[in-house]
Amino acid sequence: MKKNNFDVLIIGSGLAGLATALKLADDKSIGIVCKTQLTESSSHWAQGGVAAAISSEDPISSHIKDTKNAGAGLCDEAITEFVANKSEKALDWLMNLGVNFTKNKQGNDLHLTREGGHSQMRVAHVADTTGKAIQEHLIQKILSHPNISVLEHHIAVDIITSEKMKIDMEKNTCLGAYILNNKNNHVETFTSNNIVLATGGASKVYLYTTNPDVSTGDGIAMGWRAGCKVANMEFVQFHPTCLFDEKDRSFLISETLRGEGAKLVLPSGETFMEKYDDRGDLAPRDIVAQAIDYEMKQKGLVCVYLDISEKSSDFIRKRFPMIYKRCLDRGIDITKEPIPVVPAAHYTCGGIMTDREGKTNINQLYAIGEVACTGLHGANRLASNSLLECLVFSSTAAASILSNDFTHEYQLPKWDESRVTDADEEVLITHTWNELRRFMWNYVGIVRTNKRLSRALHRINMLRDEVGEFYKNFKISSNLIELRNLLQVAELIVLSSIERKESRGLHYSKDFPKPAKIAKNTILKPEDYKNS
């Protein structure tokens, strides 16, 4: 294959990207772009598992119902049914690759656990490191495949389209991308017949998050700049239980602890979730996160606690080996004492609008996984549906790519650095990043108001102008690319939040505390904001 020329360029190295690559690689040349190392992704950090109604006591209709209940009236019914019906096939694909899911003590049946919002035990897992186990198997296959090139320490800058190139085509078409090679600080031009955005979410836009540092909304921002429609960006899921520790702010305490009987308690040891929902500690994440937020603010607490110490020490160490060790390293023995926890930004339920095949409104451009809005999650994602979504849509996108015969030989222009200089100082980037994440946490967090959203939008516009000038005049860096993308995603979250004049799912507004009678998606189109 020619250098920087692929049949399919996949931007992102999480489960969505790697699964798509493997499903295409026997027939296509594949390039995988990853910002740091191949192992760094939100998928790698996923503890819970893959939701699948495979038990004889768990009809698929129950999984569909739970997904729709969590989604608060905004799940696409056809997509929800489609994904749930493909769940067993998705699990089989992973097991055929060699992923060794945890089994029951007797026999070879998978051990299924439960998380918030699920009415049945239906989450297949590998102890409490499911994502890591899956990713390691996929990476082995990726590195040994002759048709796959892995481009570590590369970060995508922007997508090249026919519209940007002023090429007369029937519809705006994706032709390639500009990619910064961090090894030599040079922006390279990549040509591809298909591009798959699999960049994950945007939770690093918030001060406290469970996500790795790479989750800066790159795919959503690039897609928006290229002309993609986005939907439901106001629905940011805050995971209820992130470890409260100054030195370990991004460590998630899996919801499966509550599935196995852990209780959320106040410093006094008093439980409180029963006041907010009949399902108690197993209510969906939006309800639990809002309850914790309310208790903390009402009582002036810095955290609440999650207590599983009533379970046997042996059970805890075997069922949650990674969480047990990580907490013990921080001086917390979870077999004897509760874990201090706070909510943290966790999952972007909205994103680039796609169809069932992962297609965006730009030809030859696909979006899969957390970067996409497929209609599955609605106003709130049901736990462990995310890895399932990656697997199902990697299959539909791969089938679509294999069935289309689009190719092009356009000579795409090189990146122009002739009018920029080296940055004289990077303090602007660091300062702006910190300011953005703090006011997004304070103004666009779990509870929102019109005044807070207005203040956030005002600050975003000011910062975007400053960063825009910096971007025009200086050579770009990874930090600058990520900051530019985070500002764009922050704006989309705020604009979408302003549009929603109700409270639903993950979006709670004190000005509009009740849900509207009719649930509608919030859809933003780039052409409506060109002059804003």
In this structure, is residue 289 part of a structural domain?
A: yes
Tell whether the model's pLDDT for residue 424 goes beyond 80. no
CA dist., res. 129 & res. 521, Å (int): 34
What is the predicted pLDDT for the residue at 429? 87
**What's 278's domain CATH number?**
3.90.700.10
Cβ(175)–Cβ(194) under 8 Å?
A: no
Average pLDDT, the chain: 93
Which tokens go with 413?
């222009």
Using alpha carbons, list the distances in angstroms from residue 232 to 89, 253, 297, 398, 519: 28, 26, 27, 25, 12
What is the predicted pLDDT for the residue at 252? 86
Cβ(161)–Cβ(174) under 8 Å?
A: yes
Q: Of 345, 360, 379, at which residue does a domain stop? A: 345
Q: What is the pLDDT of residues 186-205, one digit of tens each?
A: 999 999 999 999 999 999 99
In this structure, is residue 350 part of a structural domain?
A: no
Instruction: List the one residue out of 504, 528, 527 whose CA is nearest residue 234.
Output: 504
CA dist., res. 133 & res. 110, Å (int): 15
Using alpha carbons, list the distances in angstroms from residue 439 to 376, 459, 494, 497: 29, 9, 12, 15
Tell whether the model's pLDDT for residue 1 goes beyond 60. no
What is the predicted pLDDT for the residue at 455? 97
**What's 464's domain CATH number?**
1.20.58.100
Q: What is the DSSP string of 461-516?
A: HHHHHHHHHHHHHB---HHHHHHHHHHHHHHHHHHHHHH--S-BTTBEESSS-S--
CA dist., res. 370 & res. 350, Å (int): 8
Higher pLDDT, 131 or 498: 498
For residue 515, the enclosing domain spans 427-529
DSSP state of 369: G
Q: What is the pLDDT of residues 467-492, one digit of tens each?
A: 998 898 888 999 999 999 999 999 99
CA dist., res. 107 & res. 429, Å (int): 55
Q: Percentage of residues in the chain with pLDDT exceeding 70?
A: 98
**Residues 213-222: what's their mean pLDDT?**
94
- Lowest mean pLDDT, pick from 48-52, 413-417, 424-428: 424-428
CA dist., res. 242 & res. 345, Å (int): 9
**Residues 207-216: what's their mean pLDDT?**
87
Burial of residue 353 (CB within 10 Å: 0-12, 13-18, 19+) is buried
What is the predicted pLDDT for the residue at 391? 97
What is the predicted pLDDT for the residue at 428? 82
In this structure, is residue 246 part of a structural domain?
A: yes
What is the predicted pLDDT for the residue at 6? 97
Whole-prediction pTM: 0.91
Question: CA 473 from chain center: how many Å?
Answer: 32
**Residues 151-168: what's their mean pLDDT?**
96
Residue with tokens 């992923």: 99
What is the predicted pLDDT for the residue at 116? 82
Question: Is 285 a known active-site residue?
Answer: yes
Cβ(223)–Cβ(354) under 8 Å?
A: no
Tell whether the model's pLDDT for residue 293 goes beyond 60. yes
**Residues 249-255: what's their mean pLDDT?**
83
Which tokens go with 120?
């049945």
What is the predicted pLDDT for the residue at 2? 65
- Lowest mean pLDDT, pick from 40-44, 95-99, 118-122, 237-241: 40-44
369 phi-psi bin (left φ>0, alpha ψ -120 to 50, beta other): left
What is the predicted pLDDT for the residue at 42? 79
- Lowest mean pLDDT, pick from 69-83, 221-235, 283-297: 283-297
In this structure, is residue 228 part of a structural domain?
A: no
Torsion angle, alpha carbons of 460, 153, 41, 64, to 10: 80
Using alpha carbons, list the distances in angstroms from residue 355 to 13, 349, 361, 379, 393: 22, 15, 9, 18, 10
In this structure, is residue 332 part of a structural domain?
A: yes
Question: CA 25 from chain center: how many Å?
Answer: 24
Residues 431 and 338 occupy one common structural domain: no
Which residues have a Cβ under 8 Å from the Cβ of 419 and sit 6 or more positions away?
none
Higher pLDDT, 42 or 279: 279
Tell whether the model's pLDDT for residue 143 goes beyond 80. yes
Tell whether the model's pLDDT for residue 515 goes beyond 60. yes
What is the predicted pLDDT for the residue at 285? 83
Residues 431 and 523 occupy one common structural domain: yes
Helix count and strand count (H, E) for the chain: 16, 20
Residues 245 and 341 occupy one common structural domain: yes
In this structure, is residue 301 part of a structural domain?
A: yes
Per the residue annotation, which of 285, 381, 459, 464 is the catalytic one?
A: 285
What is the predicted pLDDT for the residue at 188? 96
Q: Of 283, 313, 345, at which residue does a domain stop? A: 345
Residue with tokens 């807070």: 452
Q: Of 345, 369, 390, at which residue does a domain stop? A: 345
What is the predicted pLDDT for the residue at 531? 61
What is the predicted pLDDT for the residue at 250? 75
**Residues 344-348: what's their mean pLDDT?**
93
Higher pLDDT, 109 or 513: 513
In this structure, is residue 463 part of a structural domain?
A: yes
Per the structure, the count of domains in the chain is: 2
Burial of residue 269 (CB within 10 Å: 0-12, 13-18, 19+) is exposed
Residues 339 and 434 occupy one common structural domain: no
Q: What is the pLDDT of residues 370-400, one digit of tens each?
A: 999 999 999 999 989 999 999 999 999 999 9
In this structure, is residue 286 part of a structural domain?
A: yes
For residue 249, name the pLDDT band (cuts at 50, 70, 90).
Answer: low
Question: Please, what is the angle between helix 87-97 and helix 77-85, to 10°?
Answer: 40
Strands (E) located in 336-434: 339-348, 351-353, 365-367, 372-373
Tell whether the model's pLDDT for residue 462 goes beyond 70. yes
